[in-house]
Amino acid sequence: MIGKRWKTGLGGVWALLCAVVLVESANAGPWLDPGDTGLRHDLQLLADTGVIGTPVTVWPLSWGDIATQIAGSGDVPDAAAAALNRVRSRLRSEGLLEGLQLGAAASLGSEARLVRDFEDLPRQKGEIAAQLEWTGERTALRLVAQYVTDPDDDREWRADGSYAGLALGNWMLAAAMTDRWWGPGWQGSMILSNNARPIPAFTIDRNSTAPFESKWLRWIGHWDFTTLWGFLESDRAVPDARFFGMRFTARPTRWLEVGLSRTAMWCGRGRPCGFGTFTDLLAGKDNAGDNVAAEDEPGNQLGGYDIRLTGAGLGIPLALYTQRIGEDEQDLRPALFLTLAGMETWGRWERLGDYRVYLEVADTLCGGNITGGGMADCAYDHSIYATGIRYRGRAIGHSLDNDAKVWTLGSILNRDSGGSWQLSLAAGELNRKGSPSSTNTVAAVKTRYRSASLVHRRRLGFGELQGAIGYEGFDNRISGKTDDEWRISLGWQHRL
């Protein structure tokens, strides 16, 4: 049985971590993790102006792929020149550096932000970490030891951010505990985000996103593919369940990026874990009483698409994007969609730097589609896997959890003089149609939500500083109680 073979869980991941680093002999350059909003803004600007072809709606990104493309860039549009210089500077400081590097990080603050976005803010009141990173010709290793105070999940010692990877041709095979972000949204992703702590997993990622050489397939443009096989925690309704995910992303032109994503939770103690169960899952045979017996139901899965369309072809600094993820399946197609949509514009202020402004709305009510009603108590939940599509107390998809609708207005400014600023304002309703919930991680009952956040990053000689101040307000619509919380944090990280 597959479940018994992979029973090692986290121990199996660390076994591969130890084994793979012994193989040394294609560059296995390090990954670029999600979490730095200013850097993402610069990379998106380079993509929108045609300087790079790399799909940028799937994270982590390969530093090697980006380095190859910007090394070959000659004349670039004036709108992208400053962004290109910042990315090149970042690459020189912490990119493809072979050999051993050491690092350290620390943060201190009040309560952590409940609703998270792309920016990697501290998860706990106090955190301290040491890091060892080594990059060879075909292998890459990063080991992180982190201690946190007053953890939500009672795990004071963590290895989040660790990985060991081996490059085989144009593919990176790895054992990893790294954050991922799938989709074009800035405030959240409906299917996989950095809201929950990273899931320990075996992963396969494409190193270079270069187009196919075949004339029949070259029209797809730069493309990426990633898949992961993860291990969920034991303290859940179905202990030791597995988490499977895969995503294909393509940029046929510089004004269009398309992503197809699918994740599934299956197996676990007391559930079928054989190869036949997994193939049923892949084939969509997971509707109990319809195409599979209830006792053989393989698991719970999400699937859907996202599109980002820019006005780059018309010279207009405007992009429209959407992500639609089905919580159910009907006739082998996703159904009961969770919907995210947004628009963004960008430009340059000569005396300040490059800016981006976005307006984004997320509706996590199944079939809500932003404008209408839908099915409550559905998204990220399941009758058998009662803990839901969550990991260590947080939703694996959007940080709003289910039955929410929230609008977010955000802005990003990357200064030519150094540093980046991010400001966001959000308002909406959490758990707006569901009954009192024991699984919703942000609101047990219908709650009015509002927030404001200001984040600043600056790179200095002794490392990078991140300061954040924010406000979150929760108005309980049942009891009438209001909970207003101010949050502040200061973080530092440095690589030697």
* pTM assigned to the model: 0.92
Q: What is the pLDDT along the chain (496 residues), one digit of tens a residue?
A: 333 333 334 444 444 444 433 333 344 457 899 999 999 999 999 999 999 999 999 999 998 899 999 887 677 888 889 999 999 988 887 766 677 889 999 999 998 899 999 999 999 999 999 999 998 888 999 999 999 999 988 899 999 999 999 999 999 999 999 999 999 999 999 999 999 999 999 999 999 999 999 989 999 999 999 999 999 999 999 999 999 999 999 999 989 999 999 999 999 999 989 888 888 888 777 666 565 666 777 888 999 999 999 986 566 799 999 999 998 766 667 888 999 999 999 999 888 899 999 999 999 999 988 887 889 999 999 988 999 999 999 999 999 999 999 999 999 999 988 899 999 999 999 999 877 888 999 999 999 999 999 999 999 988 999 999 999 999 999 888 999 999 999 999 998 8
Q: What sign for the dihedral angle of Cα 185, 433, 291, 1?
A: positive
Domains and CATH numbers, the chain: 2-495 (2.40.160.130)
